[in-house]
Amino acid sequence: MKVTSKQVEQIAGVLLDEDSELTLGELCRACGVPAERIIALVEEGVIEPRNKEVRWRFSGICVRRVRRVYSLEQDLGINLAGAALAIELLEEIERLQAHLAWLEERHKK
């Protein structure tokens, strides 16, 4: 079977982690939100720039947090303060689940 170019979908992206750095503009583009929205998230404490200089730089983890806030607001109607709290709780659950998985794996050995 011959595959045509219409059948092939390419996905291009960059893996973002804690060591990645994005400018305010890059974060806005990655999340599809205006700069005012990012500024509001910084003021609420949802995300934090790595530096407080004129040109903010954000870790790649901020992309995930911004997208989660947007989902919580859109899907559940949660306000910004509620979304900030929900994200903290969700991340704590993830940390606890990872720790539990580590303990279970260690116990098996």
Locus of tokens 């995930």: 64
**φ/ψ of residue 65, rounded to 5:** -65, -45
Tens of pLDDT, residue by residue over 70-80, are 999 999 999 99
pLDDT computed for residue 11 by the predictor: 37
Locus of tokens 């900030």: 84
Let me know if residue 4 belongs to a domain: no
Let me know if residue 60 belongs to a domain: yes
pLDDT computed for residue 54 by the predictor: 74
Let me know if residue 12 belongs to a domain: no
27: CATH: 1.10.1660.10
**Which residues are 57's β-sheet partners?**
23
pLDDT computed for residue 63 by the predictor: 93
**φ/ψ of residue 22, rounded to 5:** -125, 145
Q: Is the pLDDT of residue 1 over 70?
A: no
Q: Is this model's pTM higher than 0.95 or not?
A: no
pLDDT computed for residue 33 by the predictor: 93
Tens of pLDDT, residue by residue over 44-61, are 999 999 887 778 999 988
Let me know if residue 3 belongs to a domain: no
Tens of pLDDT, residue by residue over 73-102, are 999 999 999 999 999 999 999 999 999 999
Q: Are 57 and 49 in contact (CB under 8 A)?
A: yes
Structural domain total, the chain: 1
Domain span at residue 101 reads: 21-108
Let me know if residue 36 belongs to a domain: yes
Output the DSSP codes for 47-103: S--S--SSS-EEETHHHHHHHHHHHHHHHH---HHHHHHHHHHHHHHHHHHHHHHHH
Let me know if residue 35 belongs to a domain: yes
pLDDT computed for residue 52 by the predictor: 75
Let me know if residue 87 belongs to a domain: yes
Tokens of 74: 């859109």
